[in-house]
Amino acid sequence: MFIGRVSGSVTATIKHEAFHSYKLLIVDHLDLHGKATGAYDICVDVVQAGVGDTVLVLDEGNGARQILNRSVAPVRAVVVGVVDSVDLI
């Protein structure tokens, strides 16, 4: 998993029904100082995260399907939580 920040959303014409019930968020990868690294993922949202939120992203397909409680779900990355705090040494 990685820490990211929601920077927007994507609207796309997708025929596959598995996508119809989910919002697609653009999530910037953050380094441990909270800065965007330049990488991003398009993620399915299951926690109603908003733009600007710092979030926890699971980036593994089989686990992502488990989060969605669906065996069939063509996803790779899911926003699984909103980060409350990051505690570094």
The residues of the shown chain that bind its own copies, judged by CB under 8 A, are 1-3, 7-16, 18-19, 24, 26, 28, 31-32, 38, 40-43, 46-47, 51-52, 55-56, 58-67, 72-78, 80-89
Q: How far is the CB of 21 from its own copies (least distance, A)?
A: 15
Minimum CB distance to its own copies smaller for 21 or for 51:
51
Q: How far is the CB of 71 from its own copies (least distance, A)?
A: 9
Q: How far is the CB of 3 from its own copies (least distance, A)?
A: 7
- What is the rounded CA–CA span in Å between residue 28 and residue 31? 10
Minimum CB distance to its own copies smaller for 8 or for 21:
8
Query: How many residues can be counted in the chain?
Result: 89
- What is the rounded CA–CA span in Å between residue 3 and residue 20? 26
- What is the rounded CA–CA span in Å between residue 86 and residue 71? 32
User: Taking Cα atoms as reference points, which of 32, 11, 22 lies closest to residue 78?
Assistant: 22
